[in-house]
Each structure stands twice: as C-alpha cells, then as structure tokens.
Chains A and B, each alone.
Chain A
Amino acid sequence: SRPHRDYCVLGAGPAGLQMAAFLHRAGRDYEVFERESAPGSFFTRYPRHRKLISINKRHTGKANAEFNLRHDWNSLLSDDPHLLFRHYSQAYFPDASDMVRYLGDFARRLGLHVLYNTNITHVTLDKDPQAWNGHYFILTDQKGQVYQCSVLLVATGLAVPKLVDFPGSEYVEGYESVSVDPEDFVGQNVLILGHGNSAFETAENILGVTNFVHMLSRSRVRLSWATHYVGDVRAINNGLLDTYQLKSLDGLLESDLEYLALVKDSKGKFHVTLKFLLENNSSQSADSIPLPEDDNDNFAMRVAYDRVIRCLGWTFDFSIFDQSLRLSSGTEFSKKYPLIKASYESKGSRGLFILGTASHSVDYRKSAGGFIHGFRYTVRAVHRLLEHRHHGIPWPSTEYPITQLTSSIIRRVNEASGLYQMFSVLADIILLKENATAFEYLEEFPMQMLAQLEMLTGRTARHGLFVINMEYGKNFSGPEKDVFYYDRSVAHIEDAWMSNFLHPVIYYYRHLPTEQDMRFRPAQWPLPRPTAIHHIVEDFLTDWTAPVGHILPLRRFLENCLDTDLRSFYAESCFLFTLTRQRLPPFCQQGYLRMQGLSSTKSLWQHGVESRLLQDYTAMENSNRWLGDHSTAPEPLTQSLDSNKEEL
C-alpha cells in the first residue's frame, strides 16, 4: 500500500547526500526526501554574506589525497575525484553558491535517489514485530503521501533561527532577513545580539559604514584560534575585536539577554534597559521608562541604537516528529540539538539516526562533528554500523602480521583525515589476534562506543587492543587561555605527554573496556584509564615520520605492551638467530623464515658496521681477535648457554 524503503534520509544537504552516497554504493534500498527543488537549499540563503568560512585549501605540497582532505573542509566523500571541492572554487574561503553547485553535481553525478519538492511534515512510529527495529517510521509529506521506512536518517540540519523573547524584542531584526547592503547602515548605531560567527560576519560587513557596532551576548567571545574549535569565532570575521581593542568606538559586551528590555523612543531609536525596571514601572510612555543610566550615569549602553540585529544561531526543528519517537532535546547546554548516543542513534527510538550538523551534540565545542569536514566521517561510521546491523557485513578491517604494527599506525596518523578532523570522537582500533602475531585494523570507530565494539562491528577483541586517537593538550586551549606563550610546544620525546597541539595518542587495553569503565573514566579523559598510553610528540609540520623522534618511541611502546621485540633485521642477522637460538623475533619469523628476508646493500652494511649495529664477520679471524658479542641479540648468547648448562 504505502511505498517502503529500507532507508529514508531526511534532507538533501551535505549530510543527507553523504549518507545517500554510501547507501547507493552499497546497493541499498533508500530514498532522500528534500523539501526544496535542489540539494543544499540552506546554502542558497546562508551564510547571508555568502562567504563560507570552511577552508578550501588547494595546495598542501603533498600528493596524498587522504592527507589533502585534512585541509579540504567542503568536499564530501566519494570515489569520484571530480567531486572534490577544489574543482568548484579557487577561493580559500569559497562562495556559498559554489557549495550549492557542488551539492547539485554530487547528487547528479552519483545518481543519488532524491525526491525533491517533498516536504516531510510528520513522522510517526508504527510498531511491527517484522520490522528491522520492531517498528517502521511512517513519513507523511505535504501532499499527504505516506512512506514507510525501516531506518530513518535525519539530516535536516539546524533549520530554525533561535529567537529572543524580552520586552521590545519585536524591534529586533533577524540575521535571516536583515539587509546585507552596507549602504543601509551608513551613519547608524548598531547593536548585534550574539557573539558567534554569524554575529561577527554581520558586523564585519558594516563595520566601515556605521558609527559603531556593539555586540552583546551572554557569554564571552570564544575565538577558534584559542579554543581550536571551528565553530567558535573564526579570525576571518573578527575585525571588530581589533577596532574594539583599539578603542575605535566598536565594542563587545556581556550580559544575559534575559535581563534585557528594549524601548523605542519618539525618534524611533532604541534604548537598552532592564526588564525589572519595566516591571516596577507602570508608565507606558516610551520616553518616561526608567533606564539604567538614570541611576548609573556611566552605564555602558546608554547610547540609543538605530538597529538591533539578532544573530543567535539556529536550533533543530523538532516539530515534525511525533511524540512516539521520543526525540528530545539535549541538555541545558546543547538544547538546540536532539539527544543521541555516541553511535548517532536516537536515545528514544531504535533505528532513528541523526546525521550532520544536528548530530553535533556528540562533540559540541570539542570536535568537528557539526561541520562538513567532520560529519562526512561520522556519517560513514553510521553507515558501517548499519551495514553490520542489517546486512551482516562486519566493520571493514585489514589484517596484518604483527611486524606491520608500527608502520600501520605511522601511516594512519600521517594521512588519515577522519582521525584528524574528528579527533577524540572517531578513533582507529587495532584488535590483536591470539599471541599477538597478527592484528586487525579498524578505521574511524566512534570511540565513545568502545565498550560495544564487538556488537557494533562484528569483530572480536579478545586479545587486547590499541586505540589510536588524536588529541590536543588537556589544558592548553580555551576561551581565556594564552595559546601563544613561550615554550608552548614540546619537542623532547620524553615530554610528549605534555604536547599541546593536536598529536596522536595511543591507548593500550588488555581487555575491552566495559560500559562501566567508559562511564567512570577520569575527568577530561576521552577513554578509561588504559594499561599503557603513548603520546607521539606534537609536530610543527604534523609529519610524524621522524625515525628517532616519532617512530622509535612508538615501537618501544608497542614492544612493551606486547612484550616482544618488533625490530627489523637483515637476513644475515636472522640467519644467525635461526642457527643460534630456538626462537626468532617476529620480523625474522614472518619474513626471513618465509624466504622473504631482507638483504643489506654494501653501503647499508658499512653504515651498520660503523655504528656497531651490524657485525663484520669477515674481520673475525680467530677467537682472540674478536671481542664482544653480537650487539643486537637481546642477551649475550654465552650467558644463556651457561645457564642452560647448569640446568643440564
């Protein structure tokens, strides 16, 4: 009767299209529902001043495509190299219309199934034991057409502008509709409510023509370079901070907007006053309303404003979801987002996932999950979870011999973009095989779900695991911190744990942490206390390939976790070990013994002899002239032979 889809995606914005691309590639039964006639309608209007603040870095000096995605904040993930944003704009901060064009091409080139002009106005649940999740999601569009879905993926973003409600708030213009023509602001006194990027963007546009711009917000301004959070005020928009600190009349103020009131005087100008002053006063005449400056004649906002503009951001549109879905808003500090688990599934109904900007409650003010360059990876994680849950396809993994442990980590921390953008949210997981002779490598797993890893991925973690995460120093950044102090960077490898800038951190657990462990982990720790931890020291170039500074300490850490020797050896050394010891180091075992030993060349061999890493056996003519033992053996051989003799 009603059309059925296994997967229904709400919204053809970046997150919706990204999910559609994964579903499409996997050959799943899906449909995207889009209210407008083309993808990315948010970007047809916003940002109002058209400049995206997500960087489009076209040159990094590197060829590695995965690495380059670290500095491409606009592209979605696909196999099509034409669908990279750098082909759509030359600008470092691109124009929003290029994003609209890009999203349109993305949907078209990949042939994604999108139902345009279909506005889902109501979503409800229909219990059915046959359904994947015990219920179907029933969607109704504006024409009354009904659709039935097994899984609902909500990617509607934050669509509702956040409003204010105080006496006089009717005089306030909204970011969504205020003029963007600076001519309209010439010689005006402007008050902007809000301290976020939209507020600063608005101020930036009119800074040069107004008498002054005042910005008022409950909280102090948070600068992204101080907080390393991309959602905070970006330097590209913060011209007002300059003019404020140089006392060029513009200024920044903090106050809770709840206490405010706005009154209009006879000349049509707006005065800021306080709610409680209005409450105590019965006079209705605008010009006789008490103002703070009546008592405090140096009150900061005693000047009259020509315009008051609200730039307070957006919230999620909860209105279309029926109560039966139990989709509730987050805590006091993330009210604008729906409440979800770290797996992006709603806490209220199984099979309902929130994707994209609206899923940012998971890492609000921490990582990049609210932005394209972050959620393109969280969407992929959700897709992998779904592939396992509904199609029995385990989380993709690669199996390696243990000799590749160090290099598999080095490779990922140097190129992986998902780890880099979604630091402390998505982490790579290494699952050790029995006796630690091999391991499986899983990429970009939502680390807060670690306790449920086996159930969510279909992989087993019986023999210990490593978690590879990227982290900033715990107390380095914050809105009030001085992030430019001397000695802010750590160079000594023994101080690596004090690294401040984003750097790889590797956690080792003998056993998979339990949910209990996750819940009671130490404050400020992304994971429970591990058996051992390693920090690869921060690097100015984010290039963690230095043999002694980066790779050697990592190998020592891995060796000590696994209680083995992970060094590599030339075939000649393996030959010696084979004939003089009953056991071999893993490198000889997995290479040399399989007839894949590594020969040295003359010049390497000479360096080895000079540095005493290798022994020159030709120079060893008789016993008197040869002193010392083979330096690379973990223990002088003669010693162990002696002890064995005693046993016999």
Chain B
Amino acid sequence: TEDSLPELTPQQYFSTLQPGKASLVYFCQVGSLSNSVFLEELKEAVKPLQDYGISVAKVTCVEEEASRYCGEEEGLMKAYLFRGNILLREFPTDILFDVNAIIAHVLFALLFNEVKYITTLEDLHSIENSLKGKSNMIFSYVEAIGTPEHRAVMEAAFVYGTSYQFALTTEIALLENIGSESIEHAHLYFFHCKLVLDLTEHCRRTLMEQPLTTLNIHVFVKTMNAPLLMEVAEDPQQVSTVHLQLGLPLVFIISQRATQEADRRTAEWVAWHLLGKAGVLLLLRDSMDVNIPQHANVAFRRAEKDVPVEFLVLNDVELIISHVKNNMHIEEIQEDEGEDMEGPDLAVEDDEVAGTVYRDRKKPLPLELSVELTEETFNTTVMTSDSIVLFYATWHAVSMAFLQSYIDVAIKLKGRSTILLTRINCADWSDICTKQNVTAFPVVKLYKEGESPVSYAGMLATKDLLKFIQLNKISCPVNIASIQEAEKYLRGELYKDLPSSASVSVLGLFSPAMASAKELFREAGKQLRGSVITGIYSEDDVWILSNKYATTLPALLLARPKEGRIESVPLDTTLVQDMAQILANALLEAFPEITVENLPTYLRFQRPLLLLFSGGSINPQYRNTILALVRQKQLDSFTPCWLNLKNTPVGRGILKAYFGRLPPLPQLLLVNLHSGGQVYAFPSSQSVTEQSLVLWLKHLQAGLENPITVLSAQEWKPPLPAFDFLNMMDAPTSQAPTKKVLECQKEAEVQESAELQPGDRSTARREPVEMLRIKRWNTANWPKDTQEPFHHDKEL
C-alpha cells in the first residue's frame, strides 16, 4: 500500500532526493535485528508526514554502498531529517518513541523559525514586544517534547505558522510566572498583540480551555481570528457567523440607539470574557422589525440548528457569562440523556400502586369523615370510645391506596355506626405508632373499651373492612339461651341486619360440663371475630339439638340458611389453633365461586384446582355433576371451584395466559398450581358428565393427557436495573468534581496525563514548589496579614 514504508538502498534513496523537499530516513544494517517497535511507529508516521509533504524511508545499508550514515556499530542507528540533500537533524531512535514523538520532532525541526522555543519570561516578553501592533502570538506550554500535545501544537504551527508567531516552552516555571492556574497540564494561550499600540502595555491573552488536540487548536484559533464584536440588525435566528459553524453559541446584546455606546462597551467586555466560548454580537433593536420581547436585553442562540433563540433578561453581565457556561453544560447533559434513551427509562414508575396513587394525588378525599388523631387526642379517643384506627403514612403508597377504601367505609357508615372511624398519620406521629406496635403500614386496629386492641387481618378493601366492623358489633361467641333462640340463630334470623350473617351461622354445642372445650371454642371464636359470627349453646337440654342433627357433643352446627342446609362437624381437639382451623374450614364451600378475595382461602390445601370458567352464572348441569362427585368423595384430592367472568373479569387474562387467546366458554380446567404448574383442559368435544369427568381425571393421573400449558416457574427479578453509582464513582473523576463542566475537563486532563507517563514532568516539579514555601517561612517567620496560610491546617 502507499502508506507502507519504502525500503531503499542508500543509492536509491539519495538519488530520489528533491531540492527543498523534506524527508525522514532511517538507516539500518543488513541482517541486524531491526528495531521493530520503532519501525512500527515509523510506519504509522508515513501517512501523516506525507500530508505535510515529508517523505519517509528506510534505507538498508549494503556493504558495497557504504554510506557515512550507516554508522559503525550496530544498534546505534539513527533517523535523519533532510531537506533536499541537506541534513537538518539527526535523531536517536529513542527520542522518537512513538508516532506522536516522530511527527512532533520532525515538524519542530522544520518549523524552527515559526515556532520559537523559549525557556524564560524574558524570552517571552521579547517576542511579545516585537509583535505588538503587528501580529498575534500563540504560546504554549507542553510537559515534554514529543508528547501528543506537542504534536498538536506543531501541526497547528504547520498550518498557522505564517499567520501567527508560535512560542513553545517546557518550563513549568514560565507558566507559573505568567500566573496560570492549575499548571499540571499543557496550556495554550493566544496573545492578542496586534491590537496593542502602546508598547508598555501587555498583550491581552486568552487561555484555551479545551484539551490540546489539533482540532481544538484549530477551532480555537479560528475563533480568535473572528471579529471580537459584530453589530447586526437582523433576525438573530438568521445571523450566521463562524462561531456557529464551529459549534459555539451566539450571544446577542440587545441595544437601542439611545444606549448604543454604553451597550457596545458592555458587549466588548462580554466578548473578551467569552472569547473562544461564544460569539458576541450587538443587536440593534430599533432598526429591525423582528419581534423581540420588550424587556429582553440578551438573546442566546445555541449552535444546534432548529433550537429557537432564547430571550433573556439578565441584570448582571456576570450572569451572561455564567449563562453561556451553564448552557454548554446542558448540552453535555443532553448528550448523556441521548445515550440513556437507548436503555429503559429508570425514572418511569412501574409499581401499579405507587403509580396510581401518585396520579390520583390531586383528587380531594372527604377525609373529614374519619377523625384525625394526634399525639394529644389518641389515648383519650381510643380509651373513651369504641374506635377503629387506621395507622398510615402519607408517603407510603399502599397506605394511601387503602386510605381511599377506608374513607369509602366511612362514607358507607356515615351516621350509622357506633364505632368511631379514626386515622393517625405515622409520618407525623411516629412515636404513637411505635408505642402501638405499628412498625409496618398500613395497619387497622379496633379499640374496644376494656379489651385489648384487635388487629384487622383481612383484605385491604372496603367490603371486607366493613364486614369486620359490623361483625364486631357483636361480641362473639354469642351465648344462646334457649333451643328456640338456637333455631332462630341457625335460620339466620337473629342478626338479620348484618349482611354477611345470611350466608352462614356457626353454633357450638356443648354439654354444661365441658368447660375446657367451651373455653377453647370461646377463644377460637374471639380469634375469628370480625370474619364470622359464632354462637355457643350449653344448656342442659343441648341433647335435643345434638339428637336433632345426629351428632355427638361437643359439636359444631353449620347452617347455610340460603341453601337450607345444616351440617354438623365433630369438635375433638384440645388446641385453640385447631379449633379455629376447624371453624375456618367449616366455612369453606364444596364448590365455591372463586373470586379475587377468596382464592387464598382455598389455596390453603395446596391441592390442584378443578376450575370451571363460566361466562356468567354456572350451568346447573356442571354444578350438579361436580357436587355429585364431591359427595362420592371422588374429588377429595382436588379443590373444585368455578369462576364467573362477569364477577371476576381478570379471569379473561388468565384464560388468555392459558390458551394464548380467549377460548369458548365454559372451560373446565385442572390447574396444578403447587406441583409442576401444568394446566389441562377438559376436551371441549366431550360433555361434562360424572363418568367423563372421572375418566378424564384418571387419564390425567396416569399421565395420558398433555397439558395445554405449564405455568412459568420463573423467579420475580428486578423489573429494571438501578443506577450503578459505584461504577460512576469509580470513573477517573472520582475526586467529586465541583461542577459537571469542570468534571468533563478534568476527565480529559486525567486521561491525557495517563497517556503521558514517559514525558510527564509535572509530578517531578511539585516538590520544589513545596520546598519553596518552607524557605519563605524560614526567612520571614513573622505574622503577616495574608490570606496565604503558612501552615496547612491539617485535617484529621
């Protein structure tokens, strides 16, 4: 390829030299172990040097054509720079340690006049003086010759060397002397000497704030070359200057004739401060028709196309500067955000409770329907009246979602309840909540005079809480006094006004001597208070009831007045928990309609669900078939149940998950939730009869049927990643930048210095500076009115 390094003999090489044309050549011995690292770097330098009209070659010394450049000893080979056939410089290969060093050194040698190497402040001043009124100067400090920054400066000098005088130093002291801050890194200044007419005046200078790269220097010099201040009288959106092309914003100082002179001085001040960062223009308001907001005194236009001009009212010129700087910052952030957009937006709420509560935050709730308690009122309230207390926290989404249901309860009970509905915000009164043993939210407790508070353990829903409150009006278990009353109780007539009592009544039957069994039952009844009404009958004539319902004492009678059935269950346990469990199980139905609320109760047995999906009320044929099988104990290893899509629309989502679509209804399914997750569908071609169903279940057990689907056993993983702050803190700027803008700069600088290991002299220079300070203290160790501390105040 054309970039490859031509290999020539000495004769070939010298014959190709053209007058005035520069060439870099490396001589090596035949058969010597070639300096391969150097040759690699040299090869890389071929193309860039060609761009500057410098050819590169490798010459192999052959014995017949001994050349004086071939040297005597092996391994001491050098590279030589010629202009025509005149030798300009020779380079030991070790100073040409990489491609940057090669280009920097070659250009440095060729541009000897254009780039003055200086070491002292006097050198700098003398160049500066010689240029005043004539030309501008570009002065740069690089940490060492051959660094990437040095190369960048030399490349710039190659282009601009005829327009500007370049000066270069590697002396850090020189940089310190001209008052640079943060002298650790390469610097480049533009000295505006052309404007200076008075020789005693110093040239104004502008520091390039970007890292020293060829492109940055180019942009910087271009902006230095642009007019400091332009006056325009056209739509700021239409103005075009070199700044926009270079990606820099424009600042318009809006002026009017009356104040034009003063405004120009302001604009010039601003322009000097924004030199290299933005273009500054003076915009005459009264000589144009463009509509500019009346009070605006500054217009700001970003470099990006299609961003509208921003009109500002800034009362302090410093604010103009900071506005420009801050907006450079925003651009950077916007770029970051652009990158983020590729990934998921982590700031989008994906918690349905938190999300809906937040969206509903502005809806006024009739909170006044429940009494708000405070530290002062809590104890007296719960001690003087039967009260329900909701413990919640305003910042807790689940609490706030439930608060809505709670207020619904209050609306329903308005004026009808003997129980006081109250609430306490634990975000305010955390002491009270802690003292009431409330550490997690939300919690509902019932305080009744003379009794220890009861925690509500049901669904966080209006209906369930309402039932709890209503059932708690009765102190369970109820003592039934006579057979007549017991019969009334079993028919559901005793507590007619309670909505739930209609479905089931529980009565414990004990002979008067069964004291401990009665006590157990009372305890269990108390535990279930709020979810079921329990009664107890223990008179001498209890045998009448036990005979009537064909049971032995102690026993439980379970009446479902609606269905006109009364069942009896023997009570043979000695544990309260078992007793409570018997009571709870007794409430379960043989073939229930499954709802969102009751599913968990039926999952307790961990059996596969035999689940019938129905579009509405259940077909009596299905019902009878299944109840018949239940009675025959054929379904004991299953939980038969059905789902009414009208009452439980989410069933559609379940069917969709099973079938991938909505299947025709009804559908009879076996869902093996607890062991394996298989879902089987009863063939829609068959009709559901006792025989077909039993046969199908047998097939299933025998493994003869294929599931229509298997439920995913996947764990619940985080829905989205989190911000990786540890990683961000590890980034090279972990010194916690004071500003984001600074951070970006620092980052670039840190990277540079990392690249600069061989030529980095800054650390070596630090020590003498410290020593200097100590000397100063020794020679003048008296107190001074000074901001400069002699002793660093050491942090512990």
Contact = CB atoms under 8 A, between A and B. Distances in A.
B353 A599 contact: no
A167 interface: no
B511 interface: no
B408 A601 contact: yes
B601 interface: yes
B712 A644 contact: yes
Interface in B388-405: 393-398, 401-402, 404-405
B211 to A, nearest CB: 22
B460 A581 contact: no
A569 B431 CA distance: 29
Interface stretch (A420-428, A449-457, A554-562): A554-562
B783 A553 contact: no
Given A579-B673, A582-B712, A487 B430 contact: no
A218 interface: yes
A547 B437 CA distance: 26
A589 to B, nearest CB: 9
B785 A300 contact: yes
Given A568-B397, A581-B712, A623 B662 contact: yes
B754 to A, nearest CB: 19
A555 B346 CA distance: 11
A641 B709 contact: yes
A640 B352 contact: no
B717 A565 contact: yes
A585 B716 contact: yes
Contact of A632 (B350, B375, B398): B350
A219 interface: yes
B658 interface: yes
Interface in A584-612: 584-586, 591-601, 603-605, 607-608, 610-611
Given A259-B781, A493-B347, A583-B716, A64 B427 contact: yes
B396 A407 contact: yes
Given A475-B736, A620-B652, A364 B359 contact: no
B650 to A, nearest CB: 5
A414 B394 CA distance: 12
A520 interface: no
Contact of B719 (A398, A547, A567, A640): A567
A66 interface: yes
A586 B351 CA distance: 13
B423 to A, nearest CB: 14
B703 to A, nearest CB: 12
B721 A414 contact: no
A309 interface: no
A603 B462 CA distance: 14
Contact of B353 (A219, A415, A495, A569): A569
A591 B401 CA distance: 14
Given A64-B427, A568-B354, A581-B712, A556 B346 contact: yes
Contacts of B750: none
On chain A, which size bracket covers the interface? 35 or more
B772 interface: no
Contacts of A487: 326, 329, 739-740
Contacts of A595: 457-459, 600-601
B796 A334 contact: yes
Nearest to A575: B596
B112 interface: no
Interface in B416-441: 427-431, 439-441
B712 A292 contact: no
Interface string B593-607: 000110111010000
Interface centre among A407, A478, A552, A580 (most CB of B within 10 A): A580
Contacts of A623: 656, 660-662
B380 interface: no
Interface stretch (B156-164, B495-503, B722-730): B722-730
B599 A575 contact: yes
A254 B789 contact: yes
B197 interface: no
B600 A614 contact: no
Given A535-B725, A560-B718, A476 B711 contact: no
A556 B718 contact: yes
Question: What's the dominant secondary structure at chain B's contact region?
Answer: loop
B401 A600 contact: yes
B381 interface: no
A598 B398 contact: yes
A259 B712 CA distance: 80
B677 interface: yes
A63 interface: yes
Interface string B640-682: 0000000011111110111011100000000101000100000
A274 B789 contact: no
B737 A296 contact: no
Given A582-B712, A583-B715, A596-B457, A64 B784 contact: no
Nearest to A481: B738
Interface string A51-95: 000000000001111100000000000000000000000000000
A511 interface: no
A564 B660 contact: no
A538 B193 CA distance: 48
Contacts of A564: 715-718
A637 interface: yes
B351 A601 contact: no
Contact of B356 (A63, A300, A614): A614
B786 interface: yes
B359 A220 contact: no
Given A564-B715, A571-B596, A556 B793 contact: no
B791 A581 contact: no
B431 A644 contact: no
A552 B656 contact: no
A404 B426 CA distance: 15
A634 B725 contact: no
Interface in B333-360: 333, 340, 346-347, 349-360
A300 B375 CA distance: 61
Interface in A604-646: 604-605, 607-608, 610-611, 613-615, 617-618, 620-623, 626, 630, 632, 634-635, 637-638, 640-641, 644-645
Contact of A599 (B359, B395, B460, B658): B460
A66 to B, nearest CB: 6
A494 interface: yes
Contacts of A365: 795-796
B30 interface: no
A113 to B, nearest CB: 27
B711 A582 contact: yes
A274 B740 CA distance: 47
B607 to A, nearest CB: 14
A414 B395 CA distance: 10
Contacts of B789: 219-220, 254
Contacts of A541: none
A84 B657 CA distance: 61
Interface in A447-482: 473-476, 478-479
Contact of A64 (B428, B649, B653, B786): B428
Contacts of A634: 714, 716-717, 719
Interface in A491-513: 492-498
B440 A582 contact: no
17 contacts: A253-B785, A300-B784, A400-B440, A407-B396, A407-B441, A475-B735, A487-B329, A534-B723, A564-B716, A568-B353, A569-B352, A582-B713, A599-B463, A601-B408, A615-B653, A618-B649, A623-B660
Interface of B: 322, 326, 329, 333, 340, 346-347, 349-360, 363, 374-375, 393-398, 401-402, 404-405, 408, 427-431, 439-441, 457-463, 596-597, 599-601, 603, 609, 648-654, 656-658, 660-662, 671, 673, 677, 706-707, 709-726, 728-729, 735-740, 780-786, 789-791, 793-796
Given A475-B736, A578-B603, A608-B356, 6 more contacts: A534-B722, A557-B723, A579-B599, A598-B461, A641-B709, A641-B710
State the 3 A-B residue pairs at the shortest beta-carbon distance, nearest first. A623-B661, A599-B461, A545-B395
